[in-house]
Amino acid sequence: MIPTYNCANYLAQTLESVLSQDPGPEHMQIEIVDDCSTKDDPEAVVREIGKGRVSFYRQPQNVGAIRNFNTCVQRSVGQFVHILHGDDFVAPGFYSSYAEVLQLHPDATLIISPSISIDENNRHIHIESPLANKNGVIIDFPKIQAVKNTIHTPTAVVPRRVYEEIGGYYLPLSHTADWEMFFRAGLYGKAVTLDRQVAYYRVHSGSDTSRLALTGKNIWEAKYTVDMCIYQLPEKVRAEIFKNKYSHIAGLAHYFYSELAKKEIWKSSLIHAGWNLKLSPSKNALKVYLTAAARYILYGTFNFDKQLLKLKKDIPTAS
């Protein structure tokens, strides 16, 4: 199931990567679920590349990424659902490799692999390492996933029965719905992984900072997700990670503080410095916050509108 929205320029590569390992319509459904794209024509790409093999569904109106993901699940008919973003793609052998894992672990409720992050020109940015596992079964998956999203969506395959039993993507989340969904899938049963990279996750290095990052809601939502996930853990496991539960998202807040400061987006930089201090109090975090506050007072108080224009010039935003 391939959700799209204004990314038709990447869709041909996505479709070709799937069709090159197509086992046939009796074994695999291939469908584009377009969220009412306004800037391009994904259906034309489907006609050209799919040649009748790929079905196309267009939302009657834009519903947002998370509802579109749920539409993908609802429209799926197979036993296993692979949601592949319209700007990501898979390596040769993706589906046969996952089939082999499922033969070894037919009771798996989540199947993943480490990913390769690429830029808009397919250059490698980062290659993930496999999560620690024993014979493919991820060690302490719920405990890890509760505080940090370890999965890129194009690597995740979820049995349809799992979606039916635990529900789909949580609509109030816009930035971390995949993180929370994969946590529930792994918590529900058994998360397994390949030890090699067979999927590509695209990072748009030139795109605008998201609205969430501008306001700091990205960190708020990450904290909310951590709290949601930890609440579902067994009490013993919850106690083990409670003290450092926000360490990862505090690091994210510090990253955005730094990147926004480089672009002189002083107010947003201050917001993230505040989150960093709140989530991981320390003398250094306090120093960072005071520095951000001073910069905002000196340079940013009367210049916020101009600062927003700088967003068009950076801060990497994942697809």
State if pTM tops 0.75.
Answer: yes
What's the rounded mean pLDDT across residues 98-116? 97
User: pLDDT tens digit string along 6-50?
Assistant: 999 999 999 999 999 999 999 999 999 999 999 999 999 999 999
Q: Give the pLDDT confidence score for residue 210 in this predicted structure.
A: 60
What's the rounded mean pLDDT across residues 280-293? 97
User: pLDDT tens digit string along 161-176?
Assistant: 999 999 999 999 988 9
User: pLDDT tens digit string along 173-191?
Assistant: 988 999 999 999 999 999 9
Asked whether residue 311 carries a pLDDT value surpassing 80, the answer given is no
3-state SS track over the chain: CEEECCCHHHHHHHHHHHHCCCCCCCCCCCEEEECCCCCCCHHHHHHHHHCCCCEEEECCCCCCHHHHHHHHHHHCCCCEEECCCCCCEECCCHHHHHHHHHHHCCCCCEEECCCEEECCCCCEEEECCCCCEECCEECCHHHHHCCCCCCCHHHCEEEHHHHHHHCCCCCCCCCCHHHHHHHHHHHHCCEEECCCCCEEEEEECCCCCCHHHHHCHHHHHHHHHHHHHHHHCCHHHHHHHCCCCCHHHHHHHHHHHHHHHHCCCHHHHHHHHHHHHHHCCCHHHHHHHHHHHHHHHHHHCCCHHHHHHHHHHCCCEEC
Confidence band for 74, pLDDT divided at 50, 70 and 90: very high
User: pLDDT tens digit string along 187-226?
Assistant: 999 999 999 999 999 987 544 446 778 899 999 999 999 9
What's the rounded mean pLDDT across residues 294-301? 86
